[in-house]
Structure 1
């Protein structure tokens, strides 16, 4: 029996199926007496599976013309791009934004580029919201940074960091209670994420960005990113994206209630 200590690297390698059989048996025995650690690794497995479902379609996307100067390498480029995307967004789970980029940085673009920039920013909003949902919603131990029991502190902190007053909508009448929230990195500054769950444990997240200065206000729009359904809309500088595994009809009902409350706030 090996006497080597069990490290965090060992645990991640165990989840990824990268350990030799003997070492896997040691980790399994270690986890058998530590249910909290076993639950944490189960959450990592769920995150990995959700990320695969979200990014596997990238493997079938055509390589942009600017990257296809060597057509025979296109398949390799696609797989590398998909792998890098998964690695990058998996890393977001352990990273917190710290006073880095001012929210107004995107305003430096030339006016002629504004329509294209706006479209890209909206697409980025949807994708980032879906990824944040996939990364954090399966987390058993710490899905949020500040819990609903400290809602006043959560609101003060997130409002200060994103530079605008925000409040998590009340969704109790729809069967969803606030779990809490966290700060995340956006394209050019911090964004906020609020998380809710229902009686069955199903979770949904509301992603709030203040990076939409070039966009016109919009009504509800629907997108599907892998296993995640997203309803999103733009209101002035705010971009909102409601993400969940719930079906389109259920999510539309919740989105309407969220929008109504935000309009009144």
Structure 2
């Protein structure tokens, strides 16, 4: 039921023939008393007639559900939801990337090789194999520091881990693409093993910020000094190795 004075919605419903017979009569009585409004409604009716005439052929075509206003509004809501979801995923990705990217920067700055991966590999290949020939052992006249100094000019001093129960027992020269490298093996009285590794920096003279990473059962603690990269590799969960790592922190 319409109200008086009629709203614009009531007037458009009248022009489109959507009012009940009673409401139509009520509105026509009102328009008869308000000629200015009646002329406006008549102009709307003329426009509607002209539009129907211009689209007479189109009006006979089957309804296109894609053009249904309700469907269009629903599709717009879905699109907005999808856009918000996409934006949320991107925000999460950027946030996580900002945190984890800096942590991974040292690992991926060059060719994607983990820092001091060759130190870990050398430990697995040589440190636990007492039958392999060594380039230095305690039976030789020169101590291990003299041996290192012959091969690595101005290198940092070999870590002193005696307070943690570990002493150097062997040394072995290896090679990298950047030049000679060396591993010194330490053991304690119970035969537990860890290693000290020295090598030239990787490509682009890449030195390492102090860091730690786990590789399976092993832990590599790495750092850099003038001209060289260093690592200590040890069993990750061994209490004696943990004590040695604490000693190393004070030595470097």
Q: TM-score scaled by structure 2? A: 0.48
Identify which of structures 1 and 2 has the higher relative contact order when contacts are C-alpha pairs closer than 8 Å and 6+ apart.
1
Q: TM-score scaled by structure 1? A: 0.46
